[in-house]
Amino acid sequence: MGMIVVDTECVGEPPRMWEEREVDVTPFPGEVDAVVPGTDDGLELLVLISEWGWPSHLFRERKCDAIVRREVVRAWNILKRGIDNRRANGGTSPRRLYSLLGTPGTGKTAAVAPFFLHQLLHCSADTIGAVLYVVCDSGYVFFNLGSRAGTVKEFHYVCDALAVVNVLADEGVQGCAIYDRCEPESMTNLPIGTWEVIVFNAPDEKIFYKIEEQTVVNYILFNGYNRRELMALHAWDQHKRGSGFLPILCSSNWSVIESQAETVGPVPRYLRDKDSYNNECLSIHECIRCFPDDQRDFLINTLLYRVKWLPRVHVYYLLKIVRVKHGAGEHFVMGPCSSAVEIELRRVLLKDCYYLGRLMRRMVWCPETCVKLFEMFGVCILLHRDVSELIVRKLVPLPRACGCPRDDAARRGTRLSKFPEKYRVISCGVHDKPNATQMSVKTDVLYIPDLLSFPLFSAFYFTRGSSANSTAAGCKRKRGRNVKKSGPLVLVGVLATPRKVGGTPACAVVQFTEQMAECFDDWNVVRGGLRWVMVYFQHHSSAAMVSRQECLVTEGAMSEEDCENVRLLWDEAEQQQVQLDEEIIDVLLVHC
């Protein structure tokens, strides 16, 4: 898996942790699941191993590994800054109340709490003299000062543990409290104002308002796993299998884990066993099926990562809460928990003809979201006949490089007369899931993939073309019967793009043909005689294309045969371009 395991017996802080600049990264909306820049040199994971286990797992020895990600270290850095500021000011700075807020199942209890405890217990005794750790119905007081230094006392009633730490606080002992409990009743007895206090929030509305009642709250916004981190966790699982260690994930096969994560999200809690996974799948299915029709705006804002999380907003099973950039700062928003959920949300919106009209208006009039909406749903503009006819008239062939004798328009003579008025949403599936569409190629149907990351095109259709030696499809009456004379079959691919296309990777062409073979049962029959036309539908904010887009072939990325096939296809394909200008917008708004 590309992971090197380094075993160390060092005391205190590990010999190499991520620096603050490496972990203090806040993504933009839509880039939440991207891998952190500069981390392409192999998998990485910090694992804290306790011989006695951790309070979060009731000191069970077989649950002794705390998996620490960059996000965990980032959360610690925020707490550490508050502690350091207090110490630098001679203890006069106010003790802060923190709320760790993040999606359930992302490691707050299993990773953040143990790591915080480890780091706090390695602070100097005059900085942190004791640590309170409340989890479930138990309380633990770790002593770091005086004759009891290095000991821990367990309390079966949280109120008893709180009584002890409040006495310590009154005696002037500096400390920190970790409160990882869903019951808000005992929160009023926490040493708020005298100790640093961290409350874990699932998020839960009751906890949220109970915290707000106390004092000024400092929120630590916590993101979940990305794909690379989940792969590192799987690699650690593989390393530990057979050593009496209970695996964190349900399967030793990475492709199984990856496929399941595409459905329920990269959340270890839902990937640890078959029952957890199946229960979450059922919850997601029920939530999507029962989603009210009057909340379509909520769905599109979710796809855009623009639903700001508020305490009164219920976090559905199909959503996750993420930290994203917001102006000069950051805030929490909600987005789809997985690729499968993203697909289902998109299918719901694409099948709602009434809402598509509202979506078109929003695509034009909302400057903050119009570019991203255009990328997601811009091809739906073509479904309005008068708009598509106007777009056809504005299509401009993209010429080859200056001096090249092969000019597409002159050589081919292929001319698009209209876009289809009918459309069909096709299911592409994710990973190894069977495709649900499987159909025969039909002409004059705009096929819109439900997968936002569908390779090469945003949508496509088949039509009959004309050339110097053939006419457009038509019917003539001859000797009392109809004779149909057709031109060659043409595949027209449309890419709605908000920016200038810098070149198309050759692997995207191969991936497209593979997807087509999955979607159409007669693809291998018709593909040999196909002509290809590529239409670049550009947003008005991007610079207009003036020349053909190149196909970028990376050496060694595919076989020589595939490379040659892609080069030939790209060389034969025609390219045309059109921009969403004011005239098109005016005609479009009539339908909104």
Residue ranges of domains in the chain: 20-222, 243-356, 370-589
Q: Which of 259, 199, 268, 198 is nearest to 230 (CA)?
A: 268
Nearest-5° angle of CA 466, CA 470, CA 474?
A: 75
Please choose, from the candidates 66, 74, 60, the residue with its C-alpha nearest in 3D space to the C-alpha of residue 45: 66
Whole-number Å distance between alpha carbons of 57 and 102: 20
Single-letter amino acid, residue 56? S
CB atoms under 10 Å from CB of 217, counted, come to: 17
Helix, strand, coil tally for the chain in percent (to 5): 40, 20, 40
179 and 108 in contact (C-beta within 8 Å)?
no
Nearest one of 164, 176, 167, 163 to 97, comparing CA atoms: 176
Q: Which of 380, 352, 349 is nearest to 364 (CA)?
A: 380
Q: Please answer whether residues 32 and 141 qualify as being in contact, where contact means their C-beta atoms are separated by less than 8 angstroms.
A: no
Q: Which pLDDT tens digits describe the chain residue by residue (592 residues)?
A: 444 555 555 445 555 678 888 888 888 776 766 655 545 557 888 888 887 778 877 666 556 688 899 999 999 999 999 999 888 887 677 788 898 988 888 899 989 999 999 999 999 999 999 999 998 888 999 999 888 999 999 999 999 999 999 999 999 999 999 998 777 667 778 888 899 999 987 666 676 677 667 677 888 989 999 888 999 888 888 887 765 556 677 777 888 898 899 889 999 889 888 888 999 888 887 877 777 777 777 788 888 887 776 665 556 667 888 888 877 788 888 888 888 888 888 888 888 777 777 788 777 776 667 788 888 888 988 988 899 999 999 999 988 765 454 544 444 546 777 899 899 988 876 544 444 557 899 999 999 998 888 899 999 999 987 643 333 333 333 344 443 446 789 999 999 887 666 678 888 899 999 889 888 988 988 888 889 999 999 888 778 888 888 888 877 778 888 888 888 889 889 999 999 888 988 888 887 7
- Residue 381: closest CA among 424, 419, 352, 351: 419
pTM above 0.85, yes or no: no
Residue among 134, 136, 142, 137 at smallest CA distance from 52:
142
**Radius of gyration from C-alpha coordinates of the chain:** 29
CA distance 321 to 328: 20
What is the CATH T-level fold of the domain 20-222, as seen in this structure?
Rossmann fold (3.40.50)
Amino acid identity, position 530: L
Across 478-502, b (16+ Cβ under 10 Å) vs e yields eeeeeeeeebebbbbbbbbbbeeee
Q: Which residues pair with 336 in a beta bridge?
A: 319
What the block records as the tokens of 214 is 């106390």
Tokens 């499809």 sit at which residue? 473
6 burial (CB, 10 Å; 0-12 / 13-18 / 19+) is exposed
Residue with tokens 């059109």: 578
Q: How far apart are CA 589 and CA 592, in angstroms?
A: 5
Tokens of 475: 């019917």
Q: How far apart are CA 374 and CA 420, in angstroms?
A: 19
